Amino acid sequence: LGFIFFFAGTVPSAIILYYFGKSQVTFFITALRLVVFAALLYFLVPKMQAVGAAVSYSLAEGVTFLLLAIYSLWRLK
């Protein structure tokens, strides 16, 4: 599931980078992804082990995809 969000996020990421020329936005969202992923790993891995890592990755990628898509759609309108 996380890889689906990862690959789906390449489209809005490319739009932000190449169409809008806003590398700062992509950098901020990527940095936020790392913070969210690390926080989720910190809380979920001790309780759920490997499943916690998988859930953490999927949630972090889902949040990243949503932020990239929302920003892209907002700028396109």
Closest of 57, 52, 16, 50 to residue 36, by C-alpha = 57
| pLDDT per residue as tens digits for the range 5-63 | 999 999 999 999 999 999 999 999 999 999 999 999 999 999 999 999 999 999 999 99
**Residue 9 resides in a domain:** yes
Boundaries of domain holding 20: 2-71
21: left (phi over 0), alpha (psi -120 to 50) or beta: left
**Residue 51 resides in a domain:** yes
**Residue 76 resides in a domain:** no
pLDDT at 77 over 90: no
**Residue 77 resides in a domain:** no
> Please, are residues 56 and 41 in contact by the beta-carbon 8 Å criterion?
yes
Q: CB neighbours of 45 closer than 8 A, spacing ≥ 6?
A: 52, 53, 56
Domains contained in the chain, number: 1
**Residue 59 resides in a domain:** yes
Question: Can you tell me the distance from the alpha carbon of 75 to that of 77, in angstroms, rounded to the nearest whole number?
Answer: 6
**Residue 63 resides in a domain:** yes
